[in-house]
A and B are shown apart, each in its own frame.
Chain A
């Protein structure tokens, strides 16, 4: 138990669906991250939030829309996804985006787009 929870753990959606992934951290951290993990590829950083403000967007397609209502919660809204978006989506948090490189990961959401 790392102190970072993600729901749902598994999600199957069609290309026309709209769904959201949720992440919650109980560590009192100020920075939160979304990563994509695909088979045989390194972890890809998608978004970074620091104190609820987005500080980085790594050229992610607009069909992925993040939301950070407070420092403990992070969402990833999904719409009109493609089959190649199927992957494990990991949320992470750290003490700060500036002064801590040690990230704590949630268990991930396994997403399948049909």
Chain B
């Protein structure tokens, strides 16, 4: 059973469109991170959300942590080809004190066509 489910798995859109990707779980997380991975590179941390209901903005990207801290969403406004990549969410389980306790989702592969 996958602890973190990401949807959709694949998304192909035109430049300028808006999109939302989701990261869902039946488990509670003390914090959740979003990474973007471009082809041939490792994942790069975009944001960490900690508080239930928290919203963080990074230019055209808006991240939200669910009130119950079981889910998160990433909304991109006016997508650009440079946004293309694999978006990964990763959660830290409560009670774990080690940074090794990150659980990753399978990712959403986003392609933004010019």
Question: Measuring CB to CB, which residues of chain A are less than 8 angstroms from any residue of chain B?
Answer: 2, 4, 9, 31, 33, 40-43, 45, 48, 55-56, 90-92, 94, 96-108
A101 touches B104 (CB 8 A): no
B106 touches A101 (CB 8 A): no
**What residues on A are CB-neighbors of B103 within 8 Å?**
42
Q: A2-B42, A42-B2, A43-B88 are in contact. Are A103 and B102 (CB under 8 A)?
A: yes
Q: A103-B45, A108-B42 are in contact. Are A42 and B106 (CB under 8 A)?
A: yes
Number of interface residues of B (CB under 8 A): 26
User: What is the CB-to-nearest-CB distance from A25 to chain B, in angstroms, rounded to a whole number?
Assistant: 12
A100 touches B99 (CB 8 A): yes
Q: What 4 A-B pairs have minimum CB-CB distances, sorted nearest first?
A: A105-B42, A43-B104, A48-B100, A42-B104
Sample 11 A-B pairs with CB under 8 A, ordered by A number.
Answer: A9-B40, A31-B99, A42-B103, A43-B43, A48-B98, A101-B31, A101-B101, A102-B45, A103-B99, A105-B35, A105-B43
Distance A10 CA – B41 CA, assembled complex (angstroms): 12
Not counting A45-B100, A103-B102, A107-B42, a sample of 11 additional A-B residue pairs whose C-beta atoms are within 8 angstroms of each other reads A2-B44, A31-B99, A40-B106, A42-B104, A43-B43, A43-B88, A55-B100, A96-B99, A97-B98, A99-B99, A105-B43
Of the candidates B4, B40, B103, the one having the most CB atoms from chain A within 10 angstroms of its own CB is: B40
B92 within 8 A of A: yes
B99 touches A98 (CB 8 A): yes
User: What is the CB-to-nearest-CB distance from A10 to chain B, in angstroms, rounded to a whole number?
Assistant: 10
User: What is the CB-to-nearest-CB distance from A14 to chain B, in angstroms, rounded to a whole number?
Assistant: 24
B48 within 8 A of A: yes
Q: A48-B100, A94-B99 are in contact. Are A102 and B48 (CB under 8 A)?
A: yes
A55 touches B42 (CB 8 A): no
**What residues on B are CB-neighbors of A108 within 8 Å?**
40-42
A107 touches B99 (CB 8 A): no
Q: A101-B92, A104-B45, A107-B40 are in contact. Are A42 and B100 (CB under 8 A)?
A: no
**What residues on B are CB-neighbors of A97 within 8 Å?**
98-100
Of all chain A residues, which has the CB nearest B92?
A101
